[in-house]
Amino acid sequence: MDRKILFLVFIILMNFHTACSQILACGYRNYSTFGYTCDLLLYNPTGAYNFSRISGTHLPGKTNDDVRLVTKTSDSNSTNVPSIICDTFKNAIWIELNTMGIEYFDENTFQNCKKLEYLDLNFNKITKIDEKSFNENLELRELHLYKSRLTTLPENIFANQHKIITLDLRLNQIADLPRNIFKTIKHVSILYLSDNKLKVFHAFGFSSNLTTVHLQNNQIEAFDQNFIDDTGVNLLDMTNNSCANVKINDSSPSRLQMRMLLVKCFDNYLNLVQDTTTTISVTTSTTEITLPPECSDEDLDERVCRLEIENKELKLNLESQSKDSKALAAALDELETRMTEMENRPCSCV
């Protein structure tokens, strides 16, 4: 009998210890920038505990409805994100849950944060995101998923995110993305996709509002040039890729500059460089094309621009009578066509 009693006491103590080791609590304060704030302590390292409430004492005159910012404390650690956070703080516009060890969240996690504008999930271990995860977050303007473990994203994940301006997907393991994944986010201006494993970059249906794209440290071998024609990009960073070593950082780069920096690769390693004098050089092991400073858009009038292909008996001279680069762009098209005919081999970058 005594053993049975001792066993029951042991079970009760174990359950009490387990319950006490799972914490979801807020320390409340007024923050001059964002307003009423919850400093969230979430400790649920196994993700097993299903919280029914968030503990903590509000400041006088304040309630859950007044909370605008939810930011995690340094001691937080959880493999998941309890939906009770958004069930409780429905008026939150800014949520920071970075560096917590989060591995997953589902379509219900953020659905009741309908006013959410900023979501920071950086430095976690997320491998997969449900297609409906952000369906109810119509006001979302910034989404940060920097340094996680994503390999792709579902095609319709941004179906309702018409207001997103900044999308940060750096330092993941993304090897491919659906062709139409970004077609609905017409207002995005900054896209961070550097330090992934992309091999092909499609046009993806971006709008003319896109101005900044970071693609450095991928494995890009092919690039859809329609991307340049369809967007308003003026900063494109493709350094350290398989076929290109490119960076455009110009307050008003021409379409010609963009296209030159995305010249189709043949069977050689492509290295593209733009220096401070706006000279653009395109080099491979067998070819070289140079546009000197006097051939820049500003100096095209009455100028003769000469494009030479080293080790090839192919020369193209162009005289432009206008200030735009349409004629030179057309000449480059002809040049690419003739080079393709000469090479007659598919692109195979090393």
What gap in Å lies between CA 339 and CA 311, rounded to an integer? Answer: 12
> Where do runs of H (alpha helix) occur along 191-250?
226-230
- Tell me, yes or no, whether 31 and 146 share the same domain: yes
Mean pLDDT of 170-186: 93
Amino acid at 143: L
Q: What is the pLDDT of residues 61-98, one digit of tens each?
A: 999 999 999 999 999 999 999 999 999 999 999 999 99
Find all residues with CB under 8 Å of 83, minimum gap 6, and list them.
106, 108, 109, 110, 111, 112
Look up residue 344 and give its two tokens.
């007659």
pLDDT tens-digit series, residues 242-273: 665 444 545 455 554 554 454 433 222 233 32
Query: Residues for the chain: how many in total?
Result: 350
Asked which of 246, 265, 284 is the last residue of a domain, the reply is 265
Whole-angstrom Cα distance, residue 150 to residue 127? 4
Most confident listed range (19-23, 232-236, 284-288) = 232-236
Same domain, yes or no: 255 and 324:
no
pLDDT-derived band at 339 (thresholds 50, 70, 90) equals low
Residue 350 confidence (pLDDT): 30
pLDDT of residue 276 exceeding 60, the answer is: no
Total domain count, the chain:
2
Question: Does residue 42 sit in the same domain as residue 128?
Answer: yes
On the question of pLDDT at 178 being above 70, the answer is: yes
Taking the C-alpha atoms of residue 113 and residue 69, their distance in angstroms, rounded to an integer, is 11
pLDDT at 319: 39
Q: How confident is the model at residue 309 (pLDDT cuts 50, 70, 90)?
A: very low
pLDDT of residue 206: 84
Residue 245 sits in the same domain as residue 282? no
Q: In which domain, by residue range, is 316 found?
A: 266-350
